[in-house]
Amino acid sequence: MEQKSKSYQVNHLKQLESEAIYILRETAAQFEKPALLFSGGKDSIVMAWLARKAFYPAKLPFPLVHVDTGHNFPETITYRDDFVEQIKANLVVGLVQESIDQGRVQEEKGPKASRNALQTVTLLDTIEKHGYDACLGGGRRDEEKARAKERFFSHRDEFGQWDPKNQRPELWNIFNGRKQHGEHFRVFPLSNWTEMDVWQYIKAEEIPLPSLYFASERDVFTRDGVILSQTDFITMLPEEEATARKEVVRFRTIGDATCTGAVLSNAATIDDIIEEVAAARQTERGTRSDDKRSETAMEDRKKQGYF
Amino acid sequence: MSEERGYLDMDLLRFTTAGSVDDGKSTLIGRLLYDSKNIFEDQLEAVETSSKARGDEHVNLALLTDGLRAEREQGITIDVAYRYFATPKRKFIIADTPGHIQYTRNMVTGASTANLAIILIDARKGVIEQTCRHAFIASLLRIQHVVICVNKMDLVDWSQERYDEIIAEFKQFASRLDNVVEVTFIPISALEGDNVVDKSKNMDWYQGPTLMYHLENVYVGPDANHIDARFPVQWVIRPMSNEWHDFRGYAGRVAGGVFKPGDDVVVLPSGFTTKVKAIHTLEGEIEEAFNPLSVTMTLEDEIDISRGDMIAKPNNQPKVEQDVEAMICWFSEKKKLKGREKLILRHTTKEVKAIVKDVRYKVNINTLHKIEDDLEFGLNDIGRISLRTSSPLFFDSYSRNRQTGSFVLIDEFTNETVAAGMII
Ligand SMILES: Nc1nc2c(ncn2[C@@H]2O[C@H](COP(=O)(O)OP(=O)(O)O)[C@@H](O)[C@H]2O)c(=O)[nH]1
């Protein structure tokens, strides 16, 4: 008997996987027109991977939506298209350039111009244009304190706003996605995953990632204390020219090339990255070396957060 | 290498923490995170700085989990916050509910997914009304493992006598609870770390495990029901592709028991019987499916099945009825339950209309006495009602199966979740 019940034990990654699949299926079932927000970062990659599992052998019953600033690392779009092909999904692209052309947003001027802030408008326009009533996001509760009480099914009013007072309690396996006309939901299937879980899962499942996540020698320079990649979209200021150099770096998030900072790292494989994440977690009290962390955490937030 | 395998073999423990204001809950959670090295350095730095600014003698670990406290001060909704940490043995999810007087609703929410509850008692105060309330909620929600942490032992001179007295008080109260669960008592000092992660040097008289040892080793395997096979259909998969032309799969998360290819099954509500043909996952067909796995099943015969139906075994079926007796906890601040209310009921993957036929009684959760003269339910009220649903539910009692024995009630106009229910 003891022996028997033992075999029904499943490890925590399997539990998290099966919970996320449950949420993905609930989203498909409870909403008329859901969409999966695909940033090209690791969390949205894992989420899309799980969606493939949830509906196999059928195709995903919702599209992946990508907001393209036009200022991408070249690898990003190649990766995206290959990945979408591999998991047999439909892709909907919202172009920031289009929002600019239509006068919906103003392109920033000057050498430090970035399209990062413009993405939100393009995203909301894309959601409205297609009438999506639930958007799946890769947000995790462990990202920051303020997210710790976020729901799996997060209710937004007709203006797309999150009202902390109007969030519904979530008990057991039961999720209440009922809404009035015009209201939306954001759904976060990875709520209970930590950064470590995501990396472990990527390893266990051998999920391909954009090469940007892995350390390699790149042409970089420093702007406002952040290491940026030299690309066609960026004009270096004279004082920045002096910081131009080759350096072994990797990216912890994948976003707009004009403002996504790199970190000094030799982590060239998933195992290396897992070690790096584990080390950051266990830093002993008093050593304060890795001051890049909070910057990248900020970016994590912008990318995956409340969009 | 072995460490890696360790991580992949780790299981998951979900626990909730309860205690009244100032019993030391935030300090305890901070201590668990700190002593198991689960704190990011930027967090720690921030905490050290603000502890210093406040002139605290110790690093104030409570500040680590203080997102909620700030809210309390600002008068924002107090709620459940989820926190995560891992040791080489286990991954933990804490449902942290602030120790507000009026927080029954949040504790019920946190407890609904927990395998274990930690209840804090201040050694100076002993068992108080709120301890009883917390123990009652843990037993109502059928949390299998309860840990009573007698905290602030440093303030009672690490006294064994005081500790024994508190245990006796608690046991006397607990004997009146319906569901006997496993209760473990641990004397601790969250502030100084005694018996939290490291064994106390101040209490030689205590021979039991530290809190962390207990959390890492308590056996949670049998919490799920592996006897009564239940598969609420969540979604029907029809690829309609050339390769999978006639494929019709039923997707869902096993809510109980075990399903294997070849098993005789019955589909509710139609009552048709057939056999499991295969259990599919992206990685290929699997030999068995059990809780909590999400899978897709195909059946031998073509039967009309849709979301909200349930697949079970012919010789072990859930109740199929429109009349339900349940304990509920009322959640709404705005809406009260007065007599024959019409509501939406959500149970497994099914949604139906329901009408409250009768309010039997409410429970005074501090004394466990029944209240029969005031039957209106407001926020945080717990009691027993009977319901009739617009179509049959396929259910088990909550004590038998948490998934098929639970439901929520929703206001059909505001869509607010107004109550949680446990079927008797
Ligand atoms: N002496 C002593 N004080 C404690 C202990 N645990 C917590 N405290 C103090 O009790 C107060 C309330 O603790 P806190 O963790 O904020 O309580 P909460 O309201 O339950 O979260 C704080 O001043 C803590 O420093 C303990 O084990 N011993």
Q: Specify the DSSP class assigned to residue B347.
A: E
Most confident of B124-138, B151-165, B181-195: B151-165
**Chain A interface, best mutation among B1, B10, B12, B380, by max A CB count within 10 A:** B12
Please give the residue that has the higher pLDDT: either B68 or B52: B52
E-assigned strands of B160-315?
A: 182-187, 230-232, 235-237, 249-253, 258-259, 264-268, 273-281, 284-285, 289-290, 294-299, 310-312
Question: Does B237 contact A at CB distance below 8 Å?
Answer: yes
pLDDT of the residue at B236: 97
Q: What percent of chain B has pLDDT over 70?
A: 86
pLDDT of the residue at A4: 43
- pLDDT > 60? residue B421: yes
In the stretch 76-115 of chain B, residues with CB closer than 8 A to chain A read: 76-77, 79-84, 86, 90-91, 93, 96, 105-106, 108-109, 112-113
A 10 A CB-CB count for A268 gives 14
Residues of chain A positioned with their CB less than 8 A from the CB of B348: 173-174
What backbone torsions phi and psi does residue B291 show, to the nearest 5 degrees? -65, 135
pLDDT of the residue at B324: 97
Question: Does B393 contact A at CB distance below 8 Å?
Answer: no
Q: Are A195 and A280 in contact (CB under 8 A)?
A: no
In which element (H, E) is residue B339 found? none
- pLDDT > 80? residue B38: no
- pLDDT > 60? residue B181: yes
A 10 A CB-CB count for B91 gives 25
Cis peptide leading into residue A74 (ω within 30°):
no
- What single letter denotes the amino acid at residue A138? G
pLDDT of the residue at B1: 33
- What single letter denotes the amino acid at residue B14? R
Cis peptide leading into residue A169 (ω within 30°):
no
The shortest C-alpha distance from A79 to chain B (Å) reads 22
Cα separation, B41 vs B20, in Å, equals 29
Domains of chain B: 2-217 (3.40.50.300), 230-312 (2.40.30.10), 319-423 (2.40.30.10)
Residues of chain B positioned with their CB less than 8 A from the CB of A55: 235, 237, 251
Which residues make Cβ contacts (< 8 Å) with residue A245, sequence separation at least 6? A219, A220, A221
C-alpha separations of B252 from A164, B224, B233, B298, B320 in Å: 30, 16, 5, 12, 19
What mean pLDDT comes out for the span B165-180? 86
CA atoms within 13 A on the CB side of B285: 11
pLDDT tens, position by position, A41-60: 899 999 999 999 999 999 99
From B394, B411, A175, select the one nearest B423 (Cα to Cα). B394
Band of residue B60 on the pLDDT scale cut at 50, 70, 90 = low
Band of residue A306 on the pLDDT scale cut at 50, 70, 90 = very low
Q: Are B387 and B105 in contact (CB under 8 A)?
A: no
pLDDT tens, position by position, B67-112: 555 555 554 445 788 888 888 888 999 998 765 656 788 889 999 9
Please give the residue that has the higher pLDDT: either A3 or B327: B327
pLDDT of the residue at B100: 64
Query: A254 alpha carbon to ligand 1 midpoint, in Å?
Result: 42
Please give the residue that has the higher pLDDT: either B377 or A70: B377
- pLDDT > 50? residue A287: no
- pLDDT > 80? residue A29: yes
A16/B237 touch (CB, cutoff 8 Å), yes or no: no
First to last CA, chain B: 48
Residue with the smallest CA separation from ligand 1 atom 8 is B24
Cα separation, B355 vs B59, in Å, equals 53
pLDDT tens, position by position, A89-125: 999 998 888 888 888 878 777 777 777 777 788 888 8
pLDDT of the residue at B219: 85
Ligand 1 pocket test, pick from B191, B198, B211 with the greatest ligand atom count within 8 Å of Cβ, gives: B191
- pLDDT > 60? residue A225: yes
pLDDT of the residue at B354: 97
Cα separation, B217 vs B147, in Å, equals 13
At B406, list the tokens: 């639970």
Band of residue B9 on the pLDDT scale cut at 50, 70, 90 = low
pLDDT of the residue at B404: 96
Order across the sheet with B81-86: list the strands.
B81-86, B90-96, B11-18, B116-122, B145-151, B182-187
- pLDDT > 90? residue A174: yes
Which residues make Cβ contacts (< 8 Å) with residue A142, sequence separation at least 6? A148, A193, A194, A195, B83, B84
Residues of chain A positioned with their CB less than 8 A from the CB of B410: 176, 178
pLDDT tens, position by position, A153-162: 998 877 767 7
Given the cut 0.85, state whether the ipTM is greater than it.
yes
Cα separation, A52 vs A54, in Å, equals 6
Secondary structure (3-state) at A4: helix
pLDDT of the residue at A264: 85
Residues of chain A positioned with their CB less than 8 A from the CB of B77: 164-165, 167
pLDDT of the residue at A293: 37
Distance of CA A155 to the CA centre of its chain: 20
C-alpha separations of B172 from A201, B138, B176, B177 in Å: 47, 16, 8, 10
pLDDT of the residue at B82: 87
In the stretch 49-68 of chain A, residues with CB closer than 8 A to chain B read: 52-59
Band of residue B52 on the pLDDT scale cut at 50, 70, 90 = low
Domains of chain A: 11-197+298-303 (3.40.50.620), 210-291 (no CATH)
E-assigned strands of chain A?
A: 34-37, 64-68, 91-95, 134-136, 153-156, 184-187, 216-223, 226-229, 245-251, 262-264
Q: Are B303 and B275 in contact (CB under 8 A)?
A: no
Strands B182-187 and B145-151: parallel
Which atom of ligand 1 lies at the shortest distance from residue B62's CA?
15
Size of the A and B interface in Cβ pairs below 8 Å: 186
Q: Are B150 and B166 in contact (CB under 8 A)?
A: yes
Of the candidates B106, B291, B408, the beta carbon closest to that of A176 is on: B408
Q: Are B141 and B112 in contact (CB under 8 A)?
A: yes
E-assigned strands of B98-181?
A: 116-122, 145-151
C-alpha separations of A114 from A67, A72, A78, A109, A256 in Å: 14, 12, 22, 8, 8
Cα separation, B316 vs B254, in Å, equals 15
- pLDDT > 50? residue A3: no
What mean pLDDT comes out for the span A9-29? 94
Please give the residue that has the higher pLDDT: either B348 or B369: B348
Question: Does A13 contact B at CB distance below 8 Å?
Answer: yes
Residues of chain A positioned with their CB less than 8 A from the CB of B86: 194, 196
pLDDT of the residue at A40: 86
pLDDT of the residue at B333: 87
Q: Are B31 and B196 in contact (CB under 8 A)?
A: yes
Secondary structure (3-state) at B331: coil
pLDDT of the residue at B304: 92
pLDDT tens, position by position, B127-143: 998 888 889 999 999 99
pLDDT of the residue at A221: 86
- pLDDT > 60? residue B378: yes
Cα separation, A149 vs B19, in Å, equals 19
What mean pLDDT comes out for the span B55-77? 57
Q: Are B36 and B134 in contact (CB under 8 A)?
A: no
Please give the residue that has the higher pLDDT: either B25 or B224: B25
* Averaged pLDDT score across all residues of chain B: 88
**Tokens 């609420």 belong to which residue?**
B232
Cα separation, A221 vs A235, in Å, equals 11
Q: Are A274 and B6 in contact (CB under 8 A)?
A: no
pLDDT tens, position by position, A231-241: 877 788 888 88
Question: Does B205 contact A at CB distance below 8 Å?
Answer: no
**Residue A38: is it exposed, middle or buried by C-beta count within 10 angstroms (0-12/13-18/19+)?**
buried
**Residue A182: is it exposed, middle or buried by C-beta count within 10 angstroms (0-12/13-18/19+)?**
exposed
Lowest mean pLDDT among A111-115, A127-131, B313-317, B413-417: A111-115
What mean pLDDT comes out for the span A74-96? 89
Strands B116-122 and B230-232: unpaired
- pLDDT > 70? residue B32: yes
Which atom of ligand 1 lies at the shortest distance from residue B60's CA?
25
pLDDT of the residue at A70: 82
Radius of gyration of chain B (CA): 24
The shortest C-alpha distance from B169 to chain A (Å) reads 31
What mean pLDDT comes out for the span A262-282? 81
Cα separation, A27 vs B332, in Å, equals 25
pLDDT of the residue at A294: 39
C-alpha separations of A265 from A249, B277, B344 in Å: 5, 50, 54
Residue with the smallest CA separation from ligand 1 atom 7 is B24
What mean pLDDT comes out for the span A22-48? 95
pLDDT of the residue at B362: 95
- pLDDT > 80? residue B203: yes
Please give the residue that has the higher pLDDT: either B118 or B4: B118
- pLDDT > 60? residue B266: yes
Ligand 1 pocket test, pick from B20, B25, B27 with the greatest ligand atom count within 8 Å of Cβ, gives: B27
Cα separation, B146 vs B409, in Å, equals 28
- pLDDT > 80? residue A7: no
